[in-house]
Structure 1
């Protein structure tokens, strides 16, 4: 059986995803009640942003913790390259 892969960031990610779920449910209700396309688009933007932030947090946490565990001890040049890689991914 595989060990659970949990990190300190997971509660925050769950919170963001629950927020996205709430926004999505609101969006569905807005469509069903004939709200304006502008209001619906704004709500969809909130859903998209919450999911994007959850994904970004998960990936950054993985890179910051799991990648170091797999890479193990590295020389200065290799460590610098790995740190640069992790830093540049923050712009995704």
Structure 2
């Protein structure tokens, strides 16, 4: 039985991260095959953007769903999240 995710965005975040993982594996292969550093750097930039987008989606979703109904949130949690954006 598959447990449903707490947040609706989690499956999409997992999908993005799996895609980034495949992309990163390709970058590793590029390095091992001694491809041009400029090409590798461009591909690393793409991986970095994909991971950053997944992180932001996860954090924004957490903020949307984990703030109490009365608008209160754990201040320490919010400060920690703010550092990650």
Say if 2:5 and 2:11, in contact at 8 Å, map to a contact too: no
Higher helix fraction: Structure 1 or Structure 2?
A: 1
Q: TM-score, normalised by structure 2?
A: 0.74
Structure 1: give runs of 5+ residues left out of the alignment: 79-84
> Considering only aligned residues, what root-mean-square deviation do their CA atoms show, in Å?
2.2
TM-score by length of 1: 0.69
Number of residues of Structure 1 aligned to a counterpart in Structure 2: 73
Q: CA separation in 2, counterparts of 1:38 and 1:73?
A: 50
Structure 2 unaligned segments of length 5 or more: list them.
Answer: 73-77
Q: CA deviation at 1:5?
A: 5.9
The aligned counterpart of 2:48 is: 48
Looking at CA atoms only, which structure, 1 or 2, has the larger radius of gyration? Answer: 1
